[in-house]
Amino acid sequence: MATPLVRAEPRFPTEAARQGISGWVMLNFSIDESGSVTDVSVVAAEPKDIFEREAIRALRRWKYQPQLVEGKAVKQSNLQVQLDFQLQQE
């Protein structure tokens, strides 16, 4: 199980906030030997073409604890995370 050490929250797109749109983005990604996120791709998003860019930008800033195999850091592939975009209720 990959454990994030640093999580950057995605920026809520201004136009989506103005229109009161909420949604989510499911991302596929890898973690390299240094714990950096690589190979980010969108698996699914609802609604489409609104939150994907900000979700990718945020996930690329995350840092993970690298997985160790016999004391050596190894790349982890084919991981998934869902980022939710919900407007805060005043």
Domains of the chain, with CATH numbers? 25-85 (3.30.2420.10)
CB 69 within 8 A of CB 76: no
* Local confidence band at 88 (pLDDT 50, 70, 90 cut-offs): confident
Mean pLDDT of the chain: 94
Per-residue pLDDT tens for 71-83? 999 999 999 999 9
Residue 90: pLDDT above 60?
A: no
Amino acid at 33: E
pLDDT value at residue 3:
87
Find, among 48, 45, 54, 49, the residue nearest to 82 by Cα: 45
Per-residue pLDDT tens for 39-57? 999 999 999 999 999 999 9
Strand partners, 72: 69
